[in-house]
Amino acid sequence: MFINGEWVDARSGATFAVINPANGEHLGDVPDGAREDAELAITAADAAFHDWSMTTAYERADVLMGAWTLMRERADALAHVMTAEQGKPLRASAAEVAYGADFIRWFAEEARRLTGEWLPSARSNQRFLSVQAPVGVVAAITPWNYPMSMLTRKMAPALAAGCTVVLKPAEATPLNARAIFEVFHDAGVPPGVINMITTSQPAPIGDVLTTDPRVAKLTFTGSTAVGRVLASAAGGSLKRISVELGGHAPFIVMPDADPVHAAKGAAALKFLNAGQACISPNRIYVHQDHVEQFTATMVERVERVKTGNGSHEGIGCGPLVNDAAVAKVEAQVDDAVAKGASALVGGSRLTDGELAAGHFFAPTVLSGVTTDMAIYREETFGPVAPIIAYDDPDTVVDLANDTNYGLAAYVYTNDLSTALRTVEALRFGIIGVNDVNPTSASVPFGGMNDSGLGREGAREGLLEYLETKTAGIAI
């Protein structure tokens, strides 16, 4: 754990093991923090806040630029840490390191663009000034699926704003978090400004972070169920809250779209990170005129995906995070098949040879998916592409909107009017139009309804860490 600029053990001395999900290898042990450790981390962040908040934007931007440079210099080593601990193929890890680093650069640049306003008054002897100030100590809780970029997407704007941070990373990926903390520490972030508690018991740490009055803001990325609990607890002490939660993304192939192009896009997107992405398509609506060609292309692409240890050459799909994740995917596929869907490729766990030591599920294409199946409603978080044939393009957006989630959605069409009308009608925070990567540090990321509150990235991502102060000045 990292408290007040030092790597420390848990006060209790307890540790927990870190395991490679591809082969069960024991990667090491990390401190198993408890309430008292979280309280010490908050004390350090609280004590460091005054001085850090008084640094100039130029100083904070320089430190962040230094971190960006270090992250790029260490890109190869960071990608190896990620693949070993999280499982995604090395190429995907390298892409995440670059994506994660880009948040640091973006917010280093944004730090110096923090300005105020000079506002009009009805009184001739009065002037108004409006400025933005850092909120204070930020508690950040992050998931394992994007174990570096989810940290930089929170820590970089918090630091740019002048806040201090206490982070609790996911139990499955503390070594990724350690590597990111080394980057910030080596770049010159002062003691106490960033602190990290690793733990195998998240609930007591969550309780401290959401109830301690010294914490001003909670930023969380993870499941809707946990986000709801933490946001409610933080609301009790009126903390600022941003929560990035689950999704159930629709992927619509309109009648005028090229089904082969759309299928290639869907295949590339769906099996990224073995389907363990909040923006992964979970309902693929294909117009009935295209369903045969779309499905054939998808199956042909998926049959070529090699599953295995992400550190091996040519692997396209790595392991799932743990056995519970495999069991959840398996239950959804079994339920769909029992209700009439067909698994055209994949459809089961992979346990042959060296795969037996990891948590693997075969990349799967399900056809004939219908609304009564669990996969139609529940987030899968695994490598399963459910295809739904539809016949009326006028109602497909209603089908797509029929979910409590509202994170990402995709539409394939060659008609500009259809594209724009669909973007306007979809109730989702992020929409890809003929595009399977509608994300960047420069654009807002976040969802509606059960997918969360607030946005990360872009200028909006910085505003989440700022308060507005108004000064009325009599002259």
Q: Which residues are catalytic?
A: 244, 278
Taking CB under 6 A as the rule, does residue 175 contact ligand NAP?
A: no
| Shortest distance (Å) from residue 387 CB to ligand NAP | 21
80: closest CA among 179, 174, 5?
179
Smaller CB separation from ligand NAP, 200 or 351: 200
Q: What is the CA radius of gyration of the chain?
A: 23
Report in angstroms how near the CB of residue 391 gets to ligand NAP at its nearest: 30
> Of 1-9, 49-57, 245-253, 359-367, which part binds ligand NAP (CB under 6 A)?
245-253
Nearer to ligand NAP by Cβ, of 86 and 309: the residue is: 86
User: How far is 67 from 127, CA to CA, in rounded Å?
Assistant: 40
What residues form DSSP beta bridges with 453?
Answer: 243
Burial of 133 (0-12, 13-18, 19+ CB in 10 A): middle
Residues 412-451 that bind ligand NAP (CB under 6 A): 447
Nearer to ligand NAP, 146 or 361 (CB): 146
Q: Is 99 near ligand NAP (CB under 6 A)?
A: no
Q: Which of 392, 434, 393, 377 is nearest to 410 (CA)?
A: 434
Please give the structure tokens belonging to residue 441: 């540090």
Q: Are 431 and 97 in contact (CB under 8 A)?
A: no
Name the residue nearer to ligand NAP (CB basis): 215 or 254: 215
Q: Which residue's Cβ has the minimum distance to ligand NAP?
A: 206
Stretch that binds ligand NAP, among 1-9, 109-117, 203-211, 288-296 (CB under 6 A): 203-211
DSSP, collapsed to helix, strand or coil, labels residue 67 as: helix
- Applying CB under 6 A, which of residues 61, 114, 141, 156 lies at the interface with ligand NAP? 141
The only residue of 20, 86, 93, 145 in contact with ligand NAP, by rule CB under 6 A: 145
**Binding-site member from 174, 368, 452, 454 for ligand NAP (CB under 6 A):** 452
Bridge pairing between strands 215-221 and 194-196? unpaired
Helical H runs in 18-127?
35-54, 57-73, 75-86, 90-111
Question: Per-residue DSSP letters for 102-115?
Answer: HHHHHHHHHHTT--
Which of 17, 203, 268, 324 forms a contact with ligand NAP (CB under 6 A)?
A: 203
- Nearer to ligand NAP (CB atom), residue 102 or residue 244: 244
3-class secondary-structure state, position 209: helix
Q: How far is the CB of 117 from ligand NAP (least distance, A)?
A: 30
Q: List binders of ligand NAP among 256-285 (CB under 6 A).
A: 278
Q: Helix or strand or coil: residue 82?
A: helix
Question: What residues numbered 221-240 form the site for ligand NAP, per CB under 6 A?
Answer: 221-223, 226, 229-230
Decide whether 187 or 279 has the Cβ nearer to ligand NAP: 279
- Beta-bridge mates of residue 165: 138, 194
The nearest distance, CB 365 to ligand NAP, in angstroms, is 21
- Matching residue, tokens 């029992």: 338
Decide: is 129 part of the binding site for ligand NAP (CB under 6 A).
no
Closest CB to ligand NAP among 143 and 265?
143
Asked whether position 176 contacts ligand NAP by CB under 6 A, the answer is no
Pattern of binders to ligand NAP over 59-88, x per CB under 6 A?
------------------------------
Neighbours of 207 (CB within 10 A): 15
Where in 306-365 is the site for ligand NAP (CB under 6 A)?
none
Candidates 109, 171, 402, 460: give the one binding ligand NAP (CB under 6 A).
171
Question: For ligand NAP, what does the binding mask look like between residues 22 and 61, x meaning CB under 6 A?
Answer: ----------------------------------------
Q: Which residues contact 398 (CB under 8 A, 6 or more apart)?
A: none
Enumerate residues 367-396 that contact ligand NAP by CB under 6 A: 379, 381
Q: Is 189 left (phi over 0), alpha (psi -120 to 50) or beta?
A: beta
The 3-class secondary structure across 331-397, one letter per residue, is HHHHHHHHCCCEEEECCCEECCHHHHHCCEECCEEEECCCCCCHHHHCCCCCCEEEEEEECCCCCHH
Please work out the total of residues on this chain that contact ligand NAP, with binding judged by CB under 6 A. 30
Q: Of 195, 183, 173, which Cα lies nearest the Cα of 77?
A: 183
Where does this chain touch ligand NAP (CB under 6 A) — which range of 184-192, 217-225, 261-269, 385-393?
217-225
Of 205 and 373, which has the nearer Cβ to ligand NAP?
205
Query: Which residues, listed in sequence order, are joined to residue 360 by a DSSP beta bridge?
Result: 350
Q: How far apart, in whole angstroms, are the C-alpha atoms of residue 109 and residue 127?
A: 30
| Positions that interact with ligand NAP (CB under 6 A) | 141-146, 168, 170-172, 202-203, 205-206, 221-223, 226, 229-230, 244-247, 278, 379, 381, 407, 447, 452
